[in-house]
Structure 1
Amino acid sequence: MPDAVPSILLVEDDPIVRMLMVDVLEEAGYHVLEAESWDAAIAVLQDPAQALALLVTDVGLRDSAERDGLGLAREARQLRGGLPVLVASGFAGLDIPPGTELITKPFSIDALRDKVQGMLA
Structure 2
Amino acid sequence: MDIQWQELQPIQGDVIVIEDDPILRELMVDIIEQLNARCVAFDNADDALIYMLKPDNPFALLIADHGVPGTIQGMELSTMVHQRWPDVGIILTSGYLLDVSALAPNIVYLLKPWSLDGLVTTIAGLVQPGVALHKTAG
TM-score class, shorter-chain normalisation, is: 0.7 to 0.9
Structure 1 residues 79 and 17: CA distance shift in structure 2, 3 A:
same
Counterpart-to-counterpart distance in 1, 2:109 and 2:64: 10
Counterpart-to-counterpart distance in 1, 2:123 and 2:11: 16
Alpha carbons 2:62, 2:88 under 8 Å: kept: yes
Aligned position for 1:88: 93
| Deviation of 1:101 (Å) | 0.7
Matched, 1:26 2:33: yes
Point out the structure with the larger helix share: 1
Structure 1 residues 87 and 4: CA distance shift in structure 2, 3 A:
closer
Give the TM-score normalised by structure 1.
0.85
Alpha carbons 2:11, 2:127 under 8 Å: kept: no
Query: Identity of counterpart residues, as a percentage?
Result: 26
Counterpart-to-counterpart distance in 1, 2:15 and 2:65: 14
| Deviation of 1:39 (Å) | 1.6
Q: Select which of 58, 70, 77 maps to 1:72.
A: 77
Structure 1 residues 104 and 4: CA distance shift in structure 2, 3 A:
closer
Structure number with bigger Rg: 2
Equivalenced residues, count: 117
Local SS of the residue matching 1:23:
helix
Give the TM-score normalised by structure 2.
0.76
1:28-84: per-residue Cα shift (whole Å, max 9, x none)?
1211011111221111110111111111000111224xx210001112123323322
Matched, 1:49 2:52: no
* Structure 1: runs of 5 or more not aligned: none
Counterpart-to-counterpart distance in 1, 2:49 and 2:114: 26
Point out the structure with the larger strand share: 2
Matched, 1:101 2:114: no
Aligned position for 2:118: 111
Local SS of the residue matching 1:55:
strand
* Structure 2: runs of 5 or more not aligned: 1-9, 129-138
Structure 1 residues 84 and 4: CA distance shift in structure 2, 3 A:
closer
Counterpart-to-counterpart distance in 1, 2:17 and 2:63: 5
Q: Indicate the RMSD between aligned Cα atoms, in angstroms.
A: 1.8
Alpha carbons 2:63, 2:91 under 8 Å: kept: yes
